[in-house]
Structure 1
């Protein structure tokens, strides 16, 4: 049975199936921010999108974190803060997916900082004697 693309809210929605069609989509698909399809439509194109299920979403968030960290590491000083904000957006989405909101994540971070410190003092460990 051949699946066809369908229209939904101004986007072309790809079938979420198995096999060759899904492989073709996955070869160039990635998780994007919620408003990206709207921005693409405003530019005159018709995005092909679908909504990821829970397991795929978690996997794609991890991929997105790697992508955003790589962009941060490659950024110059002028763009580093913007790239870091993108990393933080993905971290918040991952935390929410794990059942923790940004306040809860901050609480965990503060508890760890109290217990083990932060990076304020710029300490570099190079082994033991």
Structure 2
């Protein structure tokens, strides 16, 4: 983290405490607050990044990576005006309607 520099136009969404953590390490982070449209786009890009890290993770690091994915999902939900409880209610309704993934079913097509 410290020592990483980006050129103009680069950057990525980071957790809210990251700038202070960087300062505590003796560096001076360059940050700004994204507007609504940029924020949504950057969150979607962050989700891609976190999912890729989860897919590459071993069993030991997978729980932390999964938590990172969940954090971005909750931020995306909030950006859409959904509370965690509302998101969970939608998930439960879809699971009731279509099922979940607990059965480990693999669809091979139709006959």
The answer, yes or no, to whether TM exceeds 0.5 is: yes
Matched, 1:110 2:69: no
The alpha carbon displacement at 1:116 in A equals 0.6
TM-score (norm 2): 0.93
Aligned length: 105
The alpha carbon displacement at 1:25 in A equals 2.2
Point out 4+ residue stretches in structure 1 off by more than 6 angstroms.
Answer: none
TM-score (norm 1): 0.80
Compute the RMSD of aligned alpha carbons.
Answer: 0.6
Matched, 1:41 2:23: yes
Partner of 2:4: none
**Inter-partner Cα distance in structure 2 for 1:91 and 1:26:** 25
Structure with the bigger percentage of strand: 1
> Within 5 Å, which residues of 2 pair with 1:24-103?
24-27=7-10, 29-103=11-85
Matched, 1:122 2:101: no
Give SS of 1:78's match.
coil
The alpha carbon displacement at 1:26 in A equals 1.9
Structure 1: 5+ residue stretches without partners: 1-23
Structure 2: 5+ residue stretches without partners: 1-6
